Structure 1
Amino acid sequence: MAPMKPYYYMQPDNIIAAAVALSLLDIIVVALRFWTRKIQRQPPKADDWLMVPAALLTVGVAISQIYGVSKRSIGYRTDIPPGYTGSVDELVTPQITLKSQIEWAFFLMLPIALCCIKTSFLCFYRRVFSVQKRDTVDILLKGSIVFVVLWTIAFFFAVLFQCGTQFWAIWNSEAELKRRCTNTINMIITLCITDFITDLVIIIIPIPLVLRLNLNTTKKIGVCAMFLLGGGILVSSLVRFVLMAGSFMGGLNITDDNILGVSACLYWGMVECGVGVFAACLPTIQYLVRKFVFEPVVSSAKSIFSSRSSRHSSDFRRDGVHIEKTVDVSYKELKDDCLARPESSVIAERVTDHTYDVRDERVGAFV
C-alpha cells in the first residue's frame, strides 16, 4: 500500500512559513500594543505585560519546530534503517529521539503560553467592565483567572513528570514510553478539550456585559464584534482538538506515520498560540487603526466633498452678481416709467430697489 500523502500542515515548507509568519506577527502586534498605551498616555497593566511572555513562548515554539524540520525530525516521515525488521514502535534513532524531545518541550511551553493569553483576555475584561472591586463581574473574572492558573499548573507538571523522574523514557521508543509513562494520549485529549472549553467561555464572557450597557443596537453590535475577534483562537483550538481526538479515539486517520502525526499536533498548537496573541492585542491596537487609518480617510473624504461644495457655492455667487445686473436694468426701466405712475408706485419701486441693493451688497461681500 502506498503511504498517505501528508496534509499541508505536515509539510516542512508550510511548517517553516507558519512559524516565521506567526513569530513576526506576534512581535509586531505586541510592540504596537505598548505603543498604543504610550499614545493613549495609559500605563501598561497586567493584560499588556502578559503578552510579552506569550509572544516569547510562541517564538520559542516556532524556533523548536524550525530546528526540528532542519534535522528532519518534524515534517518528515520516519526513516527506517536499512535491514531493520522489527516494529516501528520499538525503533530508537536520533530522528525519533529529537522528535520526542521537541514534543516534550512543546507541551511544557504550550500551557504557559495559553495561560498568558487567556489571562490577558480576562485582565482586559477587568479593565473594561469591572467598575468596582468585589462586584459580581470582578469576582467572576478573578475566579476565571484563578481557574486558568490552576489549569496551567496541573498540565505543566503532568507533562513534566509523565514518566516520573525517568526523563530518558520520554525520548526513547514509543513502546518504552507506553510501558514506563502515564497514558499521554488521554492527557493530550484532556488538554485539548479543556483548552477549547475555556477559550469558548472566555470569548462569550463579554457578550452579556456589552448587551447591558446603555448603548444603541448598532454600537452594541460593533463592540461585540470587536471582542469576538478573539474567536480566531477558538477556531485553531477546535481544529487541534478535532484532529487529535479523531486520530486517537475516532476514525479520523490523518496519517500513517508517527512523526507526521506529531508534526500536525505541534503545527496547530503553534497556530493557536500565534493567533491567540494576535487576537488578544486586536481590541487594543484597533485604536491605532482608527486614529491613523480610518480618521484620516474620513477627513480626506470630507475635505474632497467640502472642496466640491465650495466650487458649487462660488458658481452660485457669480450667478448672484449676474442677477444684480439684471435687477439694475429692470430698475432703470421702471424708473423711465415712473412719470406715468402715481407717487405711491414710485415709493414702492424705491423700496424694491433698496431691497435689491442690500442683497447685492451681500453678494459683493461674498465675492
Structure 2
Amino acid sequence: MAEEEPLYYMRPGHVIAAATVLSAIDIFVVGLRFWARKVMKQPLRADDWLMLPATLLTVGIGICQLYGVSQKALGYRTVIPDGFQGNPFELVTPQLRLKSQLEWTFFLMLPIATGCMKASFLFFYIRVFATQERSAINKFLKAFIVFIVVWAVAFFFGMFFECGRNFWAIWNSQVEFRAHCSSNTKLILALCITDFIADVFIICIPIPLVLRLQLSPRKKLGVCSLFLLGSGTVIASIVRFVLMAGSYLGSVNITNDSILGTTACLYWGMVECGIGMLAACLPTIQFLFRKWIWEPVLLSTKSIFSSQSTQATRISWADGSHQASIHVQQTFRVSYDQVHDSSSRSISPNNLPNVSNERLVRESYPMQDKCVRTVA
C-alpha cells in the first residue's frame, strides 16, 4: 500500500522556506522599527526592547527547523531499521531522539517568544492610547501585561519540567515518554487554547479606542485595518491548535508519523511567531513607508499632472535647431508705448516707467545665448 503524500507544511522545502524567509523578514522589520524611532526622535521604550528577545527566539525556532530538516529529523518520515519487528512506539533511533529534543526546545521557546510579542503590543497600546497614568485603560493594560508575563513564565517552566526530573524520558521512546510525562498533552492543549484567547483579546483591544478618536471614518478604518493585520497570528494559532488537539484527541489525524506530526507543529509555530513579529512592528514602521515611499510617489504624480496642465513658453532658436533649455518666466507691467518702441534694448523689470494704460507682458529668460526673445 502506497504511503500518502504529506501535506505541504510537512515537506522539507516548505519548512526551510518558512524558517528562512520569516526569520529574515522579522530581523528586517525590527531593524526598521528602531530606525523609525530614531527618525521620529522618539525614545525607545519597553514595546521596542521586547522585540529583541522575541526576534532571537523566533530566529532560534527557525534554526531548530533548519537543523532538523538537515538531519532528517523533521520533514521526513520515520525510518524503521531493517529487521525491526517490535512495537514502533518502543523504537529509539538518533532520528527520533533528535526529533524529541527539537520538539522540547520548541515548546520552551514558544511561550517566551509569543509572550514578548503580546507584551510589546500591550506596551505599544499604553504609549498610544493610555496617556493618563490613572486612566482605566492604563490600569487594564498593565494588568494584562502582568497576566502575560505570568502566563509565559508558567508555561516555560511547565514545559521544562513536563517529565518532572526524568529528563531522559523526553528523548526516549514513546512508551517511556508517555509513562513519565503524562501531563504533557494537557499542558500543550492549555498552551494552545490560552494563546489563542490572548491573541484575540490583544487584537480587539485597540478597535474601540480607535473608534473614539476624532478622526474621519476613512482614517478610522485605515487605523483599525493596520491593527487587524495581527489577526494572522490568530489564524496560525488556530491551525496549530486544531492540528495538535486533533492529533492528541484523535479527532483529526493528519499523519500517523510522529516526525511529520512534529514538523507540522513547528511549522505553524514558526508562522505564528513570524507573522506576530511583523504585525507588532507595522504600526511603527508604517511611518517610514509613508515618508520615503508613499509621499514621494504621491508628490511625483502630482508634479507630473501639474506640469502637463501648465502652458510652456515656446522658444525658437536662431539657427532653426531645437535644443532643450531651462528658462525662467516673469510677469511684470510695462507701458503700452514701451512695447511698441523700436529700440532693441531688452525689457527688464528694473527700467519700467510708471505710466498709465499698463498691461501685463510676459518675457522668457532662457539659460542659452542663442534664444530669440518674444514679447507677447
Q: Bin the TM-score by the shorter chain.
A: 0.7 to 0.9
SS in 1 for 2:360: helix
* Distance across 2 between alignment mates of 1:235 and 1:288: 27
SS in 1 for 2:209: helix
Q: Residue type of the partner of 1:174?
A: Q
Superposed displacement of residue 90, structure 1: 0.7
Q: Residue type of the partner of 2:6?
A: P
Is 2:140 the counterpart of 1:136?
no
Where do residues 1-367 of structure 1 align in structure 2 (5 Å cutoff)?
A: 1-311=1-311, 357-358=357-358, 361-364=359-362
SS in 2 for 1:74: coil
Structure 1 gaps of 5+ residues are 316-324, 326-353
Q: Residue type of the partner of 2:132?
A: Q
Deviation per residue, 1:284-308 (Å, 9 max, x gap): 0000100000000111011112211
SS in 2 for 1:21: helix
Number of corresponding residues: 330
CA, structure 1 residues 241+128, in 2 after alignment: closer, same or farther (shift >3 Å)?
A: same
* Distance across 1 between alignment mates of 2:274 and 2:300: 35
Superposed displacement of residue 43, structure 1: 1.6
* Distance across 2 between alignment mates of 1:124 and 1:131: 11
Deviation per residue, 1:223-259 (Å, 9 max, x gap): 1111112112111111111211222225322111011
Q: Residue type of the partner of 1:56?
A: L
Given that 1:122 and 1:202 are in contact with CA atoms closer than 8 Å, whether structure 2 keeps it comes out as yes
Given that 1:3 and 1:256 are in contact with CA atoms closer than 8 Å, whether structure 2 keeps it comes out as no
Given that 1:189 and 1:241 are in contact with CA atoms closer than 8 Å, whether structure 2 keeps it comes out as yes
* Distance across 2 between alignment mates of 1:100 and 1:169: 10
Superposed displacement of residue 154, structure 1: 1.3
SS in 1 for 2:256: coil
SS in 2 for 1:362: strand
Given that 1:4 and 1:256 are in contact with CA atoms closer than 8 Å, whether structure 2 keeps it comes out as no
The alignment's TM-score, normalised by the length of structure 1, stands at 0.86
Residue 370 of structure 2: aligned partner? none
Superposed displacement of residue 364, structure 1: 4.1
Q: Residue type of the partner of 1:105?
A: T
More strand by share: 2
The alignment's TM-score, normalised by the length of structure 2, stands at 0.84
Superposed displacement of residue 365, structure 1: 6.8
Residue 321 of structure 1: aligned partner? none
Deviation per residue, 1:52-90 (Å, 9 max, x gap): 110110111111111111111111111111111111111
SS in 1 for 2:215: coil
Q: Quote the RMSD (CA, aligned, Å).
A: 2.2
Given that 1:51 and 1:116 are in contact with CA atoms closer than 8 Å, whether structure 2 keeps it comes out as yes
Deviation per residue, 1:308-362 (Å, 9 max, x gap): 12127x69xxxxxxxxx9xxxxxxxxxxxxxxxxxxxxxxxxxxxx99x54xx12
The structure 1 segments of at least 4 consecutive aligned residues displaced by more than 6 Å after TM superposition are none
Q: Residue type of the partner of 2:20?
A: V
SS in 2 for 1:165: coil
* Distance across 2 between alignment mates of 1:63 and 1:169: 24
Q: Residue type of the partner of 1:282?
A: L
Superposed displacement of residue 363, structure 1: 4.3
Superposed displacement of residue 133, structure 1: 0.6
SS in 2 for 1:84: coil
Superposed displacement of residue 44, structure 1: 1.0
Structure 2 gaps of 5+ residues are 315-335, 337-354, 365-375
Q: Residue type of the partner of 1:269?
A: G
Q: Residue type of the partner of 1:156?
A: F
* Distance across 2 between alignment mates of 1:8 and 1:92: 27
Deviation per residue, 1:6-50 (Å, 9 max, x gap): 111111111111111111111100000000011001121110111
Given that 1:47 and 1:123 are in contact with CA atoms closer than 8 Å, whether structure 2 keeps it comes out as yes
SS in 2 for 1:78: coil
More helix by share: 1
* Distance across 2 between alignment mates of 1:54 and 1:311: 57
Q: Which has the higher contact order (CA 8 A, sep 6+)?
A: 1
* Distance across 2 between alignment mates of 1:111 and 1:251: 25
Given that 1:108 and 1:156 are in contact with CA atoms closer than 8 Å, whether structure 2 keeps it comes out as yes
Q: Residue type of the partner of 2:89?
A: D
Given that 1:89 and 1:173 are in contact with CA atoms closer than 8 Å, whether structure 2 keeps it comes out as yes
Superposed displacement of residue 134, structure 1: 2.0
Q: Residue type of the partner of 1:362?
A: L
Superposed displacement of residue 183, structure 1: 2.7
Residue 347 of structure 2: aligned partner? none
Q: Residue type of the partner of 1:125?
A: Y
Structure label with greater radius of gyration: 1
* Distance across 2 between alignment mates of 1:87 and 1:193: 33
Q: Residue type of the partner of 1:114?
A: T
Residue 348 of structure 1: aligned partner? none
SS in 1 for 2:191: helix
Given that 1:122 and 1:141 are in contact with CA atoms closer than 8 Å, whether structure 2 keeps it comes out as yes
* Distance across 2 between alignment mates of 1:175 and 1:4: 26
